[in-house]
Amino acid sequence: MIKVALTIAGSDSSGGAGIQADLKTFTAFGVYGASAITALTAQNTRGVAAIAHLEPSFVAAQIDAVVEDFAVAAAKTGMLSSAAIIDLVADRIRTRAIPKVVVDPVMVAASGDVLLDPGAVASMREHMFPLAIVVTPNLREAEILVGRTVTDPAGMRRAARELVRMGARAALVTGGALEGDALDVFFDGREIHELAAPRRRTGRVHGAGCTLSAAIAACLARGDSLADAIESAKRYVTRAIEAGPSIGHGSQPLDHLVPALAEKPSRQ
């Protein structure tokens, strides 16, 4: 039977990030995708022009409608733009016992546009982190969450440990903005793992963080372990970046239709 994954996130009118990227990624991994939209954005690869926030009660209605009909095997959260939305989503995840939740603490777009009310950061840490099987911030988001600069692998390792101390079961700090290989740091609550891949693009990439967290959720929905899900997701994102189409005039979109490898990683 096909597995169901749920994305709770904002809509990206350009199709490169948000729920559009999530649903395409779920499909690439052979998982049925459902969605609960938290906000509508008018954006393209160059930036965000406008945001329309949905009523929290309507976000709740979407989540309830999905889980009342489908057996959701895993979920991911993306753009939760206010404390009210964060609190409500956390409540629905707890009340509906939604399993294997990947929390992508979306705060800043690739263009630099801020997507999260600064006052909502504390709510993210307090209410979403305890529900997360893993949190997946990029460097800028990690800085905001831990309250200090994160500019190198040592800082990423410290941040990953701090994020777990805040309540998440595991943390994956993504270092796409660093020079050299694309390095991500994964702390599983016991050990640090550094995951490196050759850099395939120079300049900004649009939607890589959303795609990575969606790929992790898809693999978890299929039954993969968290470590295997992260490795499979990183390989998929690397290929999707490499195959990204030459469209738009800003950050480079990904090609979400690249094959997602079905085999489990060979990690010992």
Residues 59-82: what's their mean pLDDT? Answer: 97
Bridge partners of 195, per DSSP, are 184
Q: Does position 178 have pLDDT exceeding 90, yes or no?
A: no
The 10s digit of each residue's pLDDT in 90-112 is 999 999 999 999 999 998 776 66
Residues 29-58: what's their mean pLDDT? Answer: 95
The 10s digit of each residue's pLDDT in 127-170 is 999 999 999 999 999 999 999 999 999 999 999 999 999 999 99
| Residue 261: predicted pLDDT | 62
Say how far apart CA 254 and CA 247 lie, in whole Å: 10
Phi-psi map region of 266: left, alpha, beta (phi>0 left; psi -120 to 50 alpha)? alpha
In this structure, are residues 8 and 66 in contact, taking their beta carbons and an 8 Å threshold? no
Q: Does position 114 have pLDDT exceeding 90, yes or no?
A: no
The 10s digit of each residue's pLDDT in 204-247 is 889 999 999 999 999 999 999 999 999 999 999 999 999 999 99
Say how far apart CA 31 and CA 3 lie, in whole Å: 5
Which of 197, 150, 190 has the alpha carbon at shortest distance from 173?
150
In this structure, are residues 14 and 43 in contact, taking their beta carbons and an 8 Å threshold? yes
Answer positive or negative: Cα dihedral of 140, 141, 147, 152: negative
Q: Which domains does the chain have, with CATH numbers?
A: 4-250 (3.40.1190.20)
pTM: predicted TM-score of the whole model, two decimal places? 0.94
